[in-house]
Structures are given as C-alpha cells and as structure tokens.
C-alpha cells in the first residue's frame, strides 16, 4: 500500500514546472465542501498504454445507449500480456465494463495480481445495482495499474474511483486528451 503523504511532507510530489506534471490542472471536483484539483502525470504512459486505451474506447461503442448508465469499454492486460476486453451490459444488465473484462479473464484462468485495467471512463466507486464497485473489485484482485480517458461525470454519483485506487496503492493514469471522445460517446446522457 502507498504511504499517506501530506502536502507539507517533503516527500510529497511537487507540481513544479518540469517535474512531469501539467502546469495547469486538468480537472477538479467537490468532495463535500472540499474542492480537489487533479493533475495529470505525463511520465509513464507508453504507446502500448495508448493502444490499449484506444481499444477500450472502441469497445465502449458496442454498448447500447441507456438512460441509466454510461457506455464504457475496458481491457484487462495481465502481467503475462494476455488481454481481455468487455463493455457495459455485455452479458448482464447490471455489469460494468470492468466486470465484464475481469469475468473473461477469470474464466480463462488468468492471474490478475499485478494486472493493468484500461477503461474508457474512471472505474466506479459506488454502485446501486451490484454489491461491489469496480474500483473495490480491482483492489481486491490486486490490480497494479489503472489507465482511463475520462473522469466519470457527476451524472449519477460523485465518483472517487481514481482516488480510491490511488489510496489503495494502484498506479493511476488519466489521459484527458482522449476524454472528449469518451464524453461524445456518452452524449445520450446529456440529451444531445
């Protein structure tokens, strides 16, 4: 598990220009009365990461638009390189994309400890239709990385999946350059 760091701790990451962080925040949201600003870390994203994330976004296009859920795609990549893709409601009207991809990986006997999850949207932190959120499932199964394009909009809940994963020791990378496409795929929820 990653150590807890305070802003005033000398070991805490700094947002100085040239350290790999964006100079300006790319997103922010309220958690209760506290506004949290999120910065994107530029280091650590490879061409393969972008390829798997593109595959997850393409997978999301297979979802049937619904007034009660996002169209999300996910790709699980194990440490051995095996890949498993899924999309929201692929086999069940209550399954999220991450669940669908994990279900396929487990059915194939894949080891998920240390695996990476590529998702078109931030893994959920709260569910009404299932007992376990996608971020909790990833922590339980020992995922090491999570890469996603768009933070979940506050349409249904105030998602804190990325934060929960980071606090659980998972390396989390958001790729806001690809978020616009994911939000367009989900424009049915904004009445467009």
Return the pLDDT at 156: 63
Say yes or no to pLDDT of 84 above 80: yes
Say yes or no to pLDDT of 82 above 60: yes
Active site residues: 98
Reported in sequence order, the residue ranges of 40-114 that DSSP labels E, i.e. its strands, are 73-77, 83-87
For residue range 32-70, list pLDDT tens digits in order. 777 666 555 545 678 899 999 999 999 999 998 888 788
Residue 33 is assigned to a structural domain of this protein: no
CATH classification at residue 141? 3.40.140.10
Given a contact cutoff of 8 angstroms between Cβ atoms, the answer to whether 144 and 111 are in contact is no
Residue 129 is assigned to a structural domain of this protein: yes
Q: Helix crossing, 97-107 with 47-60: angle to 10°?
A: 110
Say yes or no to pLDDT of 88 above 80: yes
Lowest mean pLDDT among 11-20, 38-47, 67-76, 111-120: 11-20
Domain of 169 in residue numbering reads as 46-190
Name which of 176, 160, 158 is nearest 168 in CA terms: 160
Number of domains in the chain: 1
For residue range 122-157, list pLDDT tens digits in order. 998 887 778 899 999 999 999 999 999 987 766 666
Return the pLDDT at 5: 55
Residue 181 is assigned to a structural domain of this protein: yes
Tokens standing for residue 151: 């933070």
Residue 38 is assigned to a structural domain of this protein: no
Residue 115 is assigned to a structural domain of this protein: yes
Return the pLDDT at 12: 58
Return the pLDDT at 20: 45
Residue 81 is assigned to a structural domain of this protein: yes
Residue 72 is assigned to a structural domain of this protein: yes
Average pLDDT, the chain: 82
Residue 16 is assigned to a structural domain of this protein: no
């Amino acid at each position: 598990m990653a150590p807890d760091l305070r802003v005033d701790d000398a070991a805490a990451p700094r947002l100085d220009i040239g350290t790999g962080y964006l100079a300006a925040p790319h997103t922010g949201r309220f958690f209760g009365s506290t506004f949290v600003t999120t910065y994107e870390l530029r280091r650590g994203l490879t061409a393969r990461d972008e390829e798997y994330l593109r595959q997850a976004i393409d997978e999301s296009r297979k979802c049937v638009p619904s007034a009660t859920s996002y169209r999300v795609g996910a790709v699980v990549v194990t440490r051995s390189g095996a890949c498993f893709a899924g999309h929201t409601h692929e086999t069940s009207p209550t399954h999220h994309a991450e669940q669908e991809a994990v279900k396929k990986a487990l059915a194939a006997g894949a080891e998920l400890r240390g695996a990476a999850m590529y998702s078109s949207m931030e893994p959920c932190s709260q569910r009404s239709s299932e007992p376990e959120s996608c971020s909790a499932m990833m922590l339980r199964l020992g995922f090491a990385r999570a890469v996603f394009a768009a933070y979940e909009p506050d349409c249904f809940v105030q998602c804190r999946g990325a934060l929960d994963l980071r606090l659980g020791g998972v390396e989390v990378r958001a790729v806001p350059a690809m978020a616009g496409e994911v939000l367009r795929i989900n424009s049915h929820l904004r009445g467009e």
